[in-house]
Structure 1
Amino acid sequence: MVSLLNSPSINHTLLPNASTRVGLCRHGQYRRDISFYVRSEQVPSASNSPCQDRLGRRQLLATGVTIAPWFLLSHHTSTSFAAETKKGFLSVTDKKDGYTFLYPFGWQEVIVEGQDKVFKDIIEPLESVSVNMIPTSKTDIHDFGPPREIAETLIKKVLASPSQKTKLIEASEHDVDGKAYYTFEFVAQAPNYTRHALSAICIGNGKFYTLTTGANERRWEKMKDRLKTVVDSFQIFSV
């Protein structure tokens, strides 16, 4: 693999403390005391009733989620937007950073330090999707190595903590509009749970993009089709 491990920012910028950032645990323990900010566009508001608005906010607070001061701001102030494009999913397009993907309806957008975008199920915190980027001078993902090689490196060095046992299940390559994407499936085992995950990586706009989604192993059979839809939907575009 060329220069991936030699990048001074690969372990800290791509997915800093990645085990906690993508729903895995840090040092074997899931941090349940983390406060997240929920963006307004991910909370459906079918009514303008003040009573219903207050009820919705109380329900969020009951989950332990921290509501940001800008909770009720319109989503048009953001550089990304969500729209329903497939039954059971919402589509996110980030016009500034040049990427788009689907995520399951009902997941909430949360702000996690070091991540560009994160959506997760508040009740099942291991069910999430995250996107991150680091600058790169490379223009082709093949410059970093073949799919299996780069997948193993990312899993061991970035996507799981050193204390976790990891296993790469499969890695493959596909093209979208002439651009190469690597996708891979892996598991990361902690003392009290195992997370089953999927990732997609690609290069464009002078950036190395990584999308990772997953779920607790006990829910993998139920969630795998939805998670595969998420990872397969990831695309980048020129900005």
Structure 2
Amino acid sequence: MVISSCSLSWISPCLSHKLNLPHSIYLPRNTATSSSNTVFCALETTPSRESHCQRRPLLLGIGALSTNLQPTNLLFAQEISDRYGSFVDYEDGYSYVYPIDWKEFDFRARDSSFEDRYLQLQNVRVKFIPTEKKDIRDLGPMEEVIYSLVKHIYAAPNQRSTIYDMQERTIDEKHYYTFEYVLASPNYSGASFATIAIGNGEYYTLIVGANERRWKRVRDQHKVVADSFRLLDI
């Protein structure tokens, strides 16, 4: 596994001008890392991709999670404690882990999503859209791609965006961008990690976030979720 980390304080004046940085703030942050329950989505024949396969909770244990993750990621699997469950979707080609006490819920037509049982603003959700691109690198330099996403897609007009550390990870020859950001408005501020990747003809986005006031307490937990996202070959 190859990981490169990008703290945005080093961005050159030329790139800063190109990205129009006054609209957004970049700050570095430190990071940290950490299943017995698995939500399993088997590959089934359906009339259309709109039809969803049944998601069945399986008590597979850490050994099964190790199998769902690729062999080169066994170390990661071994580091996951019983505090996390895993979601594996063989039909749509992705997997990730989530805090074991979260529950599945419907979130604005996302393909999958889990939320804290008591704090609904604390959740993870995954969506994907078709693309002709073959790799996340095909979208352009990581800094430009992430800045454009946060500023022009994730942030509402009344929100101020702050982007923290960026990482590019290469796992089994697949590339992932993971980044941390905060969106602040007059009435609410939320902090999140996002992981984006391209494969199987789809552009995948995982976002895991919480109220910014709780972020220090849950940040490490949420980073585990963001780092766990994997593409599966289908």
Contact 2:101-2:117 within 8 A present in 1 as well: no
The C-alpha deviation readout for 1:64-98, integer Å capped at 9, x for no partner, is xxxxxxxxxxxxx6156565543211000011101
Deviation at 1:146, TM superposition (A): 1.7
The C-alpha deviation readout for 1:102-136, integer Å capped at 9, x for no partner, is 00011111112321111111421221101000000
Distance 1:156 1:217 in 2: 18
Corresponding residue for 1:154? Answer: 149
Distance 2:163 2:146 in 1: 8
Contact 2:124-2:208 within 8 A present in 1 as well: yes
TM-score, normalization by structure 2: 0.66
Contact 1:110-1:120 within 8 A present in 2 as well: yes
Q: Point out the more displaced range, 91-100 or 106-115.
A: 106-115
1:78 is the counterpart of 2:78: no
Higher strand share: 2
Corresponding residue for 2:180? Answer: 185
Q: Percent same amino acid at aligned positions?
A: 38
TM-score, normalization by structure 1: 0.65
Corresponding residue for 2:220? Answer: 225
- Return the match for 1:104 from 99, 102, 124: 99
1:132 is the counterpart of 2:110: no
Ranges of 4+ aligned residues in structure 1 off by more than 6 Å: none
- Cα–Cα, structure 1 residues 181 and 210, in superposed 2: closer, same or farther, change >3 Å? same
Corresponding residue for 1:144? Answer: 139
Contact 1:130-1:211 within 8 A present in 2 as well: yes
In structure 1, the residue corresponding to 2:225 is in which secondary structure? Answer: helix
Contact 1:81-1:92 within 8 A present in 2 as well: no
Corresponding residue for 1:89? Answer: 84
In structure 2, the residue corresponding to 1:192 is in which secondary structure? Answer: coil
1:195 is the counterpart of 2:171: no
- Cα–Cα, structure 1 residues 82 and 163, in superposed 2: closer, same or farther, change >3 Å? farther
Corresponding residue for 1:175? Answer: 170
Contact 2:103-2:116 within 8 A present in 1 as well: yes
- Cα–Cα, structure 1 residues 218 and 232, in superposed 2: closer, same or farther, change >3 Å? same
Distance 2:167 2:116 in 1: 27
Distance 2:151 2:111 in 1: 21
Contact 1:198-1:228 within 8 A present in 2 as well: yes
Aligned residues: 165
The C-alpha deviation readout for 1:189-234, integer Å capped at 9, x for no partner, is 0222211110001110000000000111111111011101000100
Deviation at 1:139, TM superposition (A): 0.4
Ranges in structure 2 where 5+ consecutive residues have no aligned partner: 1-37, 40-52, 63-80
Q: Point out the more displaced range, 176-185 or 145-154.
A: 145-154
Counterpart residue identity of residue 113, structure 2: V
Ranges in structure 1 where 5+ consecutive residues have no aligned partner: 1-40, 43-76
Contact 1:148-1:170 within 8 A present in 2 as well: no
